[in-house]
Structure 1
Amino acid sequence: MADLFSSSDIPDPKGKAPRPLADRLRPQTLAEVIGQKQVLGPDAPLGVMLAAGALSSIIFWGPPGVGKTTIARLLADETDLHFIQISAIFSGVPELRKVFEAAKMRRQNGQGTLLFVDEIHRFNKAQQDSFLPHMEDGTILLVGATTENPSFELNAAVLSRAQVMVLTRLSPEDLEDLTLRAEDELGKPLPLTEAARHALYEMADGDGRTLLNLIEQVSAWTVKEPLDAEQLGKRLMRRAAKYDKSGDEHYNLISALHKSVRGSDPDAALYWFNRMLEGGEDPRYLARRLLRMAVEDIQLADPQAHTIALHAWETYERLGSPEGELALAQAVVYLALAPKSNAVYTAYKASREAARKTGSEPPPHHILNAPTKLMAEQGYGAGYAYDHDAEDGFSGQNYFPDSLPRTQFYKPVERGFERELSKRVSYFDKLREERKKSGKT
C-alpha cells in the first residue's frame, strides 16, 4: 500500500494519477464486504453456494452503491473464473458475440468465465435470450445487476436459469463501519461532531459509494473545530432521494401511502405522501390515488370521504403548488382517520361474478314494462306491486331472476355510517320476511 496516495491526492514522483477513496477501499475478499449479510452470510444463499462449490448464475437486484459490482468481481476471484464486465447501456449484439466467442475459447483451454452484466434490464428480449445457450452449456456463468424489479424487466427464461438475490441499502451501522474504514485509510478522523456524522449518513441515503465520495470531500477541508450538522449542511448538498416516477420506487411508495391510509395511520401516510412529493411526483397523480382510496377502502363507512378527496383534488387544480398540496395533505389525514369498509367492493365483485355466470337469465315478468298489448298478454308487468302504495313503502317483491335464489351480496360492516346502513338492511330483511309469511309477495 506504500504507493497509494494520501488524502491530499498529490501525485507521487512516478506520475501516477490519484486514486479515488472508493477505489482504494474496494474490498479484496468477500469477507471484507460491508453489509449484505442476508446474501453473504454462512447460511445465506451465496454463502451456501460457495461452501458447496456450486455457484450458479445470479441476478443481483438492489439500489446503487450497495456492492453489486464488487461482489461479482470477488465471486470470480473466489471461484477462479475469468472476470468479464460489460454494461447493457454501452453493449450491443456485436459486443456480446465477441464476449461469447472469447468465453468459448477460454473454456476449451480449461478456464471458466464469469460474465458480469451491469444494468442487465436494459437489454431487450432478443439480447437477453442470447445468453441462454451459453448459460446452459456452461460457457459463461452469468451475474447480472439491476436496480429494477427482475420480475418485470427480465425474461422468464433468464430468471428460470438464475437465482435472484436482493441487495439492500446500507444501514446506518454499515455506513458507520465504512466511515471508520475510510478514516483508517485516510489516517485521520473526519472533522465532524457526532451529530454531523449522522447527518452525513443521511445524506448518503444508504449508498456506500456516495458516502465515500462525501467523506473524500469532507476530509480535504481545513477547519479549526469539528463541524456540526448545520455547518455540514451548508457545505454539502443533500443527496437527492432515490425516486423514479416510473420505476420500483414509485410503486413501492404509493403502496406504502395507500396501506398507511388503509391502516388508519395519518402520520405514516403523511410521511409517504411527502416522500413522493419530495421525489418530484405529480400531485395530480396523488390526488387521483387519494380518490381511489376513498372509493376502495372507505366507501359507505364514511360517504363524506369521497367528497373530501374530490374537493381536495379540485382545490389543488385551482390553487396549484405549493398551497394546493396542503389540501391534499388534509385529505390524507381525513382518509386515514375515516372508518374503513370494503363491503361494497366485496358485494360488487360477488354480484358481478353472479351476473357473469347467469348472464342470460331474464328479469321476472312482474317487473317488466308492458308498452304493447302483446307484451301484456305475455304477462309482462302482471302482479307488479307499486312500492309507494305498499305498507311502509315496501312491497317485498322478488327482483332477482326467477331461477336465481335471493342472494345477499352487500354485507355492511359495523363501522361508521355503515352501522346505519346495516340497520336498514336488517329492517328490510325483516319486512321482506313478514310479507312472505303473510302471502303479500
Structure 2
Amino acid sequence: MSDLFHDEPTQAEALPKTAPLADKLRPARLSEVIGQEHLTGPEGAIGRMVAAGKLSSMILWGPPGTGKTSIARLLADAVNMHYKPISAVFSGVADLKKAFAEAETMARTGKQTLLFVDEIHRFNRAQQDGFLPFVESGLVTLVGATTENPSFELNAALLSRSQVMVLHRLDDAALATLLARAEDIMERPLPVTADAKSALISSADGDGRFLLNQAETLFSITIENPLDPAGMAALLQRRMPVYDKDREGHYNLISALHKSLRGSDPQAALYWMARMLVAGEEPLYVLRRLVRFASEDIGLADPQALVQCLAAKDAYEFLGSPEG
C-alpha cells in the first residue's frame, strides 16, 4: 500500500523508545496542556491571543513542572511562527546574536520568530537590555520562562514590553489526569494500590514532571502484587522540598507562616514551620521571626507570647539540634 495511506506517527511514536515518559507525554496542542486552563482556555489571555492569530511578548512565571516550555513550543505551532529556543543557563551574547540573525533570515522569508528563553532570569541586566530593540521592532516575539518573581529578577524596561502570565501548580485532579495518560501510553496500570496512587500524587506537590519521573520508575519494575503506600515509599526517592534559602521560596514560606499565625491557625503555622526546617532553614532565623511576631503582631494582647518565644530561643541556643 502507498505511503500516502499510512497514518502520521503520533508524537510518542516519533520519539525513541528510550525517551523519558515526560517527553512522550508532552502535549501536541494547547488544548492538551493540563492545569493551566485559566491561560490556555478560550477565555484565557493566551487562548485569546491564539484565536486572534497574534502573540505579544510574554513572561511565563510558575513553579517547575507546570508546562512553561510546552506552552511556548505549542504557541509557535498555533500561530505558525518559527520556534527558536535558547537557555539562559548555557547561552551568552554570541548565542543571542545568532538567534537574532536567524530571526532576520526568517523574516526575509515572511515568517516571524518566537524566541523562547528558558530561565530568563539568569541573564544579567545588560543582557536583558539586549532584547529590547529586537522586541520593539517586532523582529522577535519574546517568550521567557522563569521560576522567580519577574518583578525582582527582570528589568522594568523588559517587563513593560511583556505580559506576565502566572502558571499555577498542578492540582490533584490535573496530576491524576497526567497519570491516566501515562497509563494509556504504557498500556497498563501503575503497579500500585489506589491509596499509593493518591500518596504519589500528593508527593509531587504540583510538579507534573516529578510525578511522571516517579511513575516511570514504577513502570520499570516487575512485581506480582501492587505496592501499598509503604512499599512504594521504600522504592521511590523522597521529593526534596522546593526551597531556595536566599530567593523567593524562602520568603514565600516565612510569609505563609506569618499569615497562618495572624489567622489563628496553629495547624497551618506548624506545617509551614516544619517545611522550612525540613528544607534546611536555620532554626534561629525562624525563632527571630517568631520573636518579632510576638512583639509586633501580638504585643499587649498576650504579653506572655514574647516571654515564651524568648524562652524557646534560649532553650534552642543552649541545647542545639535536635533537642532544641
Q: TM-score, normalised by structure 2?
A: 0.94
Counterpart check, 1:305 vs 2:305: yes
Counterpart check, 1:201 vs 2:201: yes
Deviations, residues 363-422 of structure 1 (Å, cap 9, x unaligned): xxxxxxxxxxxxxxxxxxxxxxxxxxxxxxxxxxxxxxxxxxxxxxxxxxxxxxxxxxxx
Offset, 1:69:
0.3
- When residues 17 and 50 of structure 1 are mapped into structure 2, their CA distance, relative to the original with a 3 A threshold, is closer
What residue number does 1:270 align with? Answer: 270
What residue number does 1:100 align with? Answer: 100
What residue number does 1:164 align with? Answer: 164
Q: Please show how residues 225-236 of structure 1 align to structure 2 within 5 Å.
A: 225-236=225-236
Unaligned segments of structure 1, at least 5 residues:
10-15, 325-441
Offset, 1:17:
6.1
What residue number does 1:114 align with? Answer: 114
Q: Distance in 1 between matches of 2:81 and 2:135?
A: 14
Contact persistence 2:31–2:41 (CA under 8 A): no
What residue number does 1:405 align with? Answer: none
Offset, 1:303:
2.1
What residue number does 1:65 align with? Answer: 65
The alignment yields a C-alpha RMSD, in angstroms, of 1.6
Q: Please show how residues 401-420 of structure 1 align to structure 2 within 5 Å.
A: none
Offset, 1:38:
1.3
Q: Please show how residues 145-294 of structure 1 align to structure 2 within 5 Å.
A: 145-294=145-294
- When residues 106 and 299 of structure 1 are mapped into structure 2, their CA distance, relative to the original with a 3 A threshold, is same
Q: Please show how residues 313-332 of structure 1 align to structure 2 within 5 Å.
A: 313-324=313-324
Aligned length: 315
Offset, 1:205:
1.8
- When residues 98 and 52 of structure 1 are mapped into structure 2, their CA distance, relative to the original with a 3 A threshold, is same
Q: Distance in 2 between matches of 1:157 and 1:216?
A: 43
SS of residue in 2 equivalent to 1:86: strand
Q: Please show how residues 396-435 of structure 1 align to structure 2 within 5 Å.
A: none
Q: Distance in 1 between matches of 2:121 and 2:36?
A: 22
SS of residue in 1 equivalent to 2:85: strand
Offset, 1:54:
2.5
Deviations, residues 35-80 of structure 1 (Å, cap 9, x unaligned): 1011111111111111122310010000111110011000000111
Q: Please show how residues 54-93 of structure 1 align to structure 2 within 5 Å.
A: 54-93=54-93
Unaligned segments of structure 2, at least 5 residues:
1-8
Offset, 1:250:
1.1
> What is the letter of the counterpart of residue 169 of structure 1?
R
Q: TM-score, normalised by structure 1?
A: 0.69
> What is the letter of the counterpart of residue 143 of structure 1?
V
Between Structure 1 and Structure 2, whose CA radius of gyration is higher?
1
> What is the letter of the counterpart of residue 294 of structure 1?
A
Give structure 1 regions of 4+ aligned residues with deviation exceeding 4 angstroms.
1-5
Q: Percent identity?
A: 58
Q: Distance in 2 between matches of 1:4 and 1:86?
A: 23
Q: Distance in 2 between matches of 1:213 and 1:224?
A: 22
- When residues 180 and 17 of structure 1 are mapped into structure 2, their CA distance, relative to the original with a 3 A threshold, is closer
- When residues 137 and 81 of structure 1 are mapped into structure 2, their CA distance, relative to the original with a 3 A threshold, is same
SS of residue in 2 equivalent to 1:165: strand
What residue number does 2:24 align with? Answer: 24
Q: Which has the higher contact order (CA 8 A, sep 6+)?
A: 2
Q: Distance in 2 between matches of 1:99 and 1:169?
A: 31
What residue number does 2:6 align with? Answer: none
- When residues 320 and 147 of structure 1 are mapped into structure 2, their CA distance, relative to the original with a 3 A threshold, is same
Offset, 1:179:
0.6
What residue number does 2:34 align with? Answer: 34
Q: Distance in 2 between matches of 1:77 and 1:2?
A: 16
Q: Distance in 1 between matches of 2:12 and 2:123?
A: 38
SS of residue in 2 equivalent to 1:323: coil
What residue number does 1:329 align with? Answer: none
- When residues 275 and 2 of structure 1 are mapped into structure 2, their CA distance, relative to the original with a 3 A threshold, is closer
Deviations, residues 271-320 of structure 1 (Å, cap 9, x unaligned): 11111111111101001000110111011222222221112111111111
Offset, 1:4:
6.3
Q: Distance in 2 between matches of 1:317 and 1:51?
A: 61
Contact persistence 2:12–2:25 (CA under 8 A): no
